[in-house]
Amino acid sequence: MSTDPISIIIIEDEPEFRRRFAQIIESEPTMRLAGVAANKRDAQALIDREHFDVMLIDLGLPDGTGIDLIRNVSQKKPDVDIMVVTVFGDEQHVVSSIEAGATGYILKDSTPADVISCIRLLRAGGSPVSPVVARSVLRAIRSRMGAAGTVGNVGAVSRSSNTESNPLSGRETEILQLLAKGMSFNEIGEILGISPHTVTAHIKKIYRKLAVHSRGEAVYEASQMGLLRS
């Protein structure tokens, strides 16, 4: 197990919050602040330049939305954990962030101890969310379930709804299909032309998104959701 400190970048436009989060990270011996940015342009340059494990990001930036940066990092650096730290706890922002690739979502009023705890949970494979945020996610799920329940053919609607709400990216779905066929990480990497390390990073995100902890659980859950093709 690596003893290297967790490397973190912060994307936040409000100076007060930027300083606060930077101080939280710098005061924790097991973590390292790799850089900060106050807008989307500087954030993209930081992302391209630095190697980091975790990105803490606000959604409301002066020159664009943080959603675009979340999507960019999720696609290009799949081994990075992304945690939204924002004042927006409504359903639209929460769901958009998760769909873009965020694996954690907390509000800015979180205590320093909560922030540190959530970062550790992220790196351990968890998906920390604030209670208000969790409620928004539940509302979104209930809304989709309610929409599915209004149609007569329940089986057909269930499959359609699950397909449309697939939480996995195209690459993650490809990897899960190959996992379901019993292929090893090395074999999957060879087939897709990516390294075993990248395969592992994708699988880690698959487990988080499906809330499972093993290959078997992932395949079973995906089958129940209609995400695997026969």
* 27-73: pLDDT as tens digits: 999 999 999 999 999 999 999 999 999 999 999 899 989 999 999 99
pLDDT (0 to 100) of residue 6:
95
What confidence score (pLDDT) does residue 43 get?
97
In this model, does residue 93 exceed pLDDT 90?
A: no
Cβ partners under 8 Å of residue 59, min gap 6: 65, 66, 67, 84, 86, 88, 93, 97
3-class DSSP assignment, residue 104: strand
Q: Answer yes or no: is pLDDT of 150 > 70.
A: no
Whether residue 4 has pLDDT greater than 60: yes
Range of 136-150, 152-166, 168-182, 206-220 with top mean pLDDT: 168-182
Q: What is the spatial distance between Cα 89 and Cα 133, in angstroms, rounded to a whole number?
A: 5
Distance of alpha carbon 179 from alpha carbon 223, whole angstroms: 12
- Does 229 have pLDDT greater than 80? no
Residue ranges of domains in the chain, CATH in brackets? 6-129 (3.40.50.2300), 166-230 (1.10.10.10)
* pLDDT tens digits for range 180-218: 877 888 888 888 888 888 888 888 888 888 877 677 778
Task: Identify which has the larger pLDDT, 149 or 179.
Answer: 179
Predicted pLDDT of residue 203: 85
Q: Name which residue leads in pLDDT, 200 or 140.
A: 200
Confidence tier at 138 by pLDDT (50, 70, 90): low
Q: Which helix (DSSP H) or strand (DSSP E) does residue 53 occupy?
A: none
Average pLDDT over residues 144-148: 56
> Torsion angle, CA of 14/88/173/191, rounded to 10 degrees?
0
Q: What is the pLDDT of residues 122-135, one digit of tens each?
A: 888 777 887 766 66
Check if the beta carbon of residue 68 is closer than 8 Å to that of residue 42. Answer: no
Residue 93 to residue 36: CA distance in whole angstroms = 22
CB 10 within 8 A of CB 33: yes
Residue with the bigger pLDDT between 75 and 211: it is 75
**pLDDT over 50 at 154, yes or no:** no
Percent of the chain with pLDDT over 90: 34
